[in-house]
Amino acid sequence: MSTYTQILYQIVFSTKGREKSLSKLNREKLFKYISRLLENKKCHLYRINGIKDHIHILTHLHPTVSLSSLVKDIKLASTAFIKEEKLFPNFKGWQEGYGAFTYSIKAKERLINYVMNQEKHHSESSFLEEYKNMLISHEVEFDEKYLL
């Protein structure tokens, strides 16, 4: 029997200390790099975007790829790429953890629009507010001290 999955993930993580170091000028290069990384792992990227202090990745994981190893690989490889290419001079790395939320494929278009419109969305709310709302709406128990 073959393996069939249809799990839409929204992966979210921040720069270390939520430093606003991801300047708009080179974000697209970073997003293209991460896109190629996902492609090499046979994951389907629906959308990637972010602002100065965090990114969102909307993707389907290949059944052979674990979420934690994928996030680890993205963080390690993109950190090396950022430093090698000198994309963001003030970038000190990624935060330790991440958020990953699953959705029905029926939510795909809404999520693509949400990820695509990050700058507009964050003119109205901070990353911390957004992240807390995601955790609450997905009924994830969390400790506020780890969100700082």
> pLDDT tens across 63-75, in order?
999 999 999 999 9
pTM score of the predicted model:
0.91
Is residue 44 over pLDDT 70? yes
Instruction: Provide, rounded to the nearest whole percent, the portion of the chain with pLDDT above 70.
Output: 99
When pLDDT is cut at 50, 70 and 90, the band that residue 148 belongs to is low
In this prediction, residues 93-115 reach a mean pLDDT of: 95
Per-residue CA distances from 100 to 4, 14, 57, 74, 134 (Å): 20, 12, 9, 14, 10
Segment of 75-84, 114-123, 131-140 carrying the highest mean pLDDT:
75-84
- Kindly report the CATH class assigned to 8-147: alpha beta
Query: Domain coordinates of the chain in residue numbers?
Result: 8-147
